[in-house]
Amino acid sequence: MAEIKKVAVSGAGRAYITSTFNNTLITITNDKGDPIGWSSAGAAGFKGTRKSTPFAASSAMDAVVKKAIEKGLRTVEVYVKGPGSGRDSALRAIKSGGLSISLIADITPIPHNGPRAKKKRRI
């Protein structure tokens, strides 16, 4: 968990969870969006395929939640992005860590048919 400069913390904030197939990234910010703390499954000490597990995501979340509570955070709005396996376990870790959740939003980007797809593979 990296130390970030002094940030004004009120009782409310936001938690951003980006869960990919290979890792889970977590950032907790104050209500303005200035980061209070961050972590990831890799920063929590997991390597390789263990980074993509729900346990790694909850371990990373525990580290960030402790830091945020020390700085005075009480409630968070949670924004979840991505299809990975760490989504649900990270939410449970927030609750068990002592923060109350006021909102859960899924902000996974969904293309509205985006760029042209690759041509079909011929075998």
The closest of 66, 44, 43, 52 to 19, measured between CA atoms, is 52
This prediction has a pTM of 0.86
| pLDDT tens digit sequence for 19-48 | 999 999 999 999 999 999 999 999 999 999
Does residue 4 surpass a pLDDT of 80?
A: no
The first and second tokens of residue 121, run together, are 């593979």
Residue 9 pLDDT grade (very low, low, confident, very high; cuts 50, 70, 90):
confident
| pLDDT tens digit sequence for 56-94 | 999 999 999 999 999 999 999 999 999 999 999 999 999
- What is the b/e burial string over 47-80, where b = at least 16 CB atoms within 10 angstroms of the residue's CB? eeeebbbbebbbbbbbbbbebbeebebeebbbbb
Mean pLDDT of 114-120: 91
Calculate the CA dihedral of residues 30, 59, 42, 81 and round it to 10 degrees.
-50
Protein fold of 23-106: Nucleotidyltransferase; domain 5 (3.30.420)
Element (H, E) at 112: none
| pLDDT tens digit sequence for 64-73 | 999 999 999 9
Chain mean position to CA 66: 14
Residue 123 pLDDT grade (very low, low, confident, very high; cuts 50, 70, 90):
confident
Direct distance between the N- and C-terminal alpha carbons of the chain, in angstroms, rounded to an integer = 47
Q: Find out whether 109 and 47 touch, Cβ atoms under 8 Å.
A: no
Q: Find out whether 54 and 93 touch, Cβ atoms under 8 Å.
A: no
